[in-house]
Structure 1
Amino acid sequence: MSSTPIDSKEYIGQSGRKYRIERVLQEEAFPPRQVYVASADDQKFILKYIHTVNFDDLQAVNNRLCSNASHVRLAQDTIPEKSMFAFEYFADHLLHLAQKDLPLNTVKRILKDALLGIAEMHDRDIVHTDIKADNIFINWKSHQNEVIIERRSPEAHAQGPVNKPSDIFSFALVCIYAIHKRVIFAVGEEELEEGVDPLAIIIERQISYFADEDGLNGLLRFLGDNPWVRVFEVIRDGFNKDNPRKPFSLWKGVDEDFKSLICAMTHLDPEKRVTAHEALAHKWFDGI
């Protein structure tokens, strides 16, 4: 993550803590986006601008979780006049750390703790809406050529239009990335023909990797009169012997228990997708 120095500034949080800005991680005028590394009381924090429209909602989410959610990255303080939240500083995120040659059980521990955080939010009817590898924050250190994981946590987001099963599907993609270092829905420019919407390619891969007749029919019922239903139907009908599906359940070199977990989390029918607690109880996490 790139960063630049910044002229010294000091913000005072509602707690009375004085934050001294050290570095700019992100700063954009439109849409407004500000993320700073700051120090206070010999600790590091992340100060993050929250759009004023979302500030009260996110504060309410934070308040609902603060008393009994131990696996979610929550705001430690707020700076209302700057519309900022102060978060505990984490050294890294899973998008970067997964590129290291980590032991399998270490990766499983990270994923299980992240899933526990999702379960804590879902238990309170809070939907994350933006689950991805760089939103799973991790503190780690190197010791005798080993990576020691100290703490890991997904960041809480305000409620949005997606639902709990959407979070679980997104988390399954994070798991695939963490274990196999593949972003399976990423669409490169070289794959795009003129006039083709990248989303159409993503839908084609969703159907190819994770659909069966029951799941796809359930998804179409769930979508109702959504205009994307017709797109799903056209893409579904485009598979044939010359353009066969490539089900994840048949991929080579993938552990069978991991396949089972991923297929349960990516069932196309949201009503049949496993919950966070059901995923936590899966055999793949045994002993973690």
Structure 2
Amino acid sequence: MKVAVGKLAQRNAGWDERQTLKVLREQSPHAAGYRHICHLLDDFVVDGPHGSHTCLVTEAMGATAFDLFRCVSSALPLFLVKRISKHILLALQYMHECDIVHTDLKGDNISMNGAPPPIYPQSTKLQENELLDATFKLSDMGSANKMSIRFAPLIQPEDLRSPEVILGAEWDTKADIWNFGCLMYEFLRGTSLFNPYARIKESRLNRYQNHLAQMVGLLGDFPSNLLDRAKDAQDYFDEKGQLVHGAGQYKITLEDLLSGTSSKLEDVLLTADFLSQTLTIDPEKRWSASRLLQHPWLKGVV
């Protein structure tokens, strides 16, 4: 059960999450992604000495993906990342069809249904068959935005933040896809894809300049159509679309980064291709959840 503080209820923020959960519960129960959403079971309001508190009762869930990540203290196995990817893409497909953007994809917002949570400091070791049988669900809609009312000017965990959000351009459901790609890379490699604070003193870049320089070094130049509609683009790029600060400081490919895994070369190349479709700088060319579900990297994953 989630209990909102009184101030949230007064500002109707708690009710926004309730309405989001109600839309997801009621709009299309037969959709493929419906079972991969942690759904609202009940809601009510409790009056207390500090105001009214919105209470949201959702399905009880087990361990989160972040719990699993902490258990192994390293990268998750490829079969597990593929299963998480398939289930979360189904959840995003459904959310986006409902015109809702999650905006806050991270490991502790992905929960397992069918396994107990690990108990710290001792780790619970889950067997491979348990992981193959588990259903992963997307939870915590407290930061979700309806496409018709995108009230949040800044969204997403900082190191998972999409380029359009950093530059102050209008964002949509494709922001979730970028966030998803960064997170799946983190699960695969056991480390963040982008780190806005890495080498920040020696590079003399601020965290935004550093983050954008890392993106350019990995994925190439920013397209002019994105820079033209981004209100903060002039703070980071010149009139030719080149970085003002940090150009050339980073240069690597996804294949290079993924080659450090124990996967076979063909798996590395296919994984890199899958992730590259989620990490396309231009959100208009970034693949949707529906299209990603058809990628050969997910062939045979249930």
Q: Could you tell me whether the CA contact under 8 Å between 1:217 and 1:269 is conserved in 2?
A: no
Q: Which residue number in structure 1 is paired with residue 272 of structure 2?
A: 259
Q: How far apart in 2 are the matches of 1:194 and 1:273? A: 30
Aligned residue number for residue 112 of structure 1: 86
Q: Are 1:173 and 2:182 counterparts?
A: yes
Q: How does 1:30-179 map to 2 (within 5 A)?
A: 46-49=1-4, 51-52=8-9, 53-67=12-26, 68=29, 69-81=34-46, 82-99=53-70, 100=72, 102-139=76-113, 140=115, 145-146=127-128, 148-149=130-131, 150-155=134-139, 156=141, 157-159=143-145, 160=150, 161=152, 162-179=171-188
Q: Which has the larger radius of gyration?
A: 1
2:206 to 165, 190, 197: 197
Match of 2:226, as an amino acid? Answer: L
Deviations 1:110-168 (A, max 9, x none): 12101110110001111111112221122425788446132311123431444111110
Question: Are 2:64 and 2:109, in contact at CA under 8 Å, matched by a contact in 1?
Answer: yes
Counterpart of 1:21 in structure 2 is none
Which residue in 1 is equivalent to 2:157?
A: none
Counterparts of 1:262 and 1:216 in 2: how far apart (Å)? Answer: 19
RMSD of Structure 2 on Structure 1 (CA): 2.8
Give the secondary structure class of the aligned counterpart of 2:23.
helix
The question of whether the paired residues in 2 share the 8 Å contact of 1:54 and 1:158 is answered with no
The 1-side partners of 2:289 and 2:220 are apart by 20
Structure 1 position 257, deviation (Å): 0.9
SS of 2:281's equivalent in the other structure is: coil
Q: In the alignment, is the contact (CA less than 8 A) between 2:40 and 2:58 conserved in 1?
A: yes
Identity in percent? 22
**Cα separation, 2, equivalents of 1:247 and 1:103:** 21
Aligned residues of 2:209 and 2:246 also touching (Cα < 8 A): no
Secondary structure of 1:92's aligned partner: coil
Please tell me whether the aligned partners of residues 209 and 248 of structure 1 are also in contact (alpha carbons under 8 angstroms).
yes
C-alpha deviations, 1:189-241, integer Å up to 9, x for none?
Answer: 764469743222112112221234xx532321342xx123431446367434x
The change in CA–CA distance for 1:59 and 1:198 in structure 2 (over 3 A counts) is same
Residue equivalent to 1:247 = 253
Q: What SS class does the counterpart of residue 81 from structure 2 fall into?
A: helix
Q: Tell whether the 8 Å contact from 2:227 to 2:233 is kept in structure 1 after alignment.
A: no
Q: CA deviation at 1:60?
A: 1.9
Corresponding residue SS for 2:130 = strand
- Residue-pair matches, total: 237
Deviations for 1:223-270, whole angstroms, at most 9, x for unmatched residues? 2xx123431446367434xx3522325445161111111111111111
Aligned to 1:8: none
Q: 1:146 to 1:275 in 2, by over 3 A?
A: closer
Residue 208 of structure 1: aligned partner: 217
Structure 2: distance between partners of 1:104 and 1:194:
34
Partner-residue secondary structure (3-state), 1:281: coil
Q: Aligned equivalents of 1:238 and 1:187: distance in 2?
A: 12
Residues 137 and 145 of structure 1, relative CA distance in 2, 3 Å threshold:
closer
| Cα distance, 1:186 vs structure 2 | 2.9
Cα pair 2:90 2:289 within 8 Å, conserved: yes
Q: Is the 8 A contact 2:237 2:244 kept in 1?
A: yes
TM-score, length of structure 1 as denominator length: 0.72
SS in 1 for 2:101: coil
Partner of 2:227: 220
In structure 2, what is the Cα distance between the partners aligned to 1:250 and 1:144?
Answer: 31
Runs of at least 4 residues of structure 1 off by over 3 A?
141-147, 187-196, 249-252
- Provide structure 2 residue ranges, at least 5 long, that are not aligned to the other structure: 47-52, 117-123, 153-170, 262-267
Could you say if the C-alpha distance between residues 54 and 117 of structure 1 is closer, same or farther in structure 2, counting changes exceeding 3 Å?
same
Indicate the larger mover: 109-118 or 245-254. 245-254
Give secondary structure in 1 for the equivalent of 2:236.
Answer: helix
CA contact (8 A) 1:203 1:232 kept: no
**CA distance in structure 2 between the aligned counterparts of 1:209 and 1:143, rounded to whole angstroms:** 35
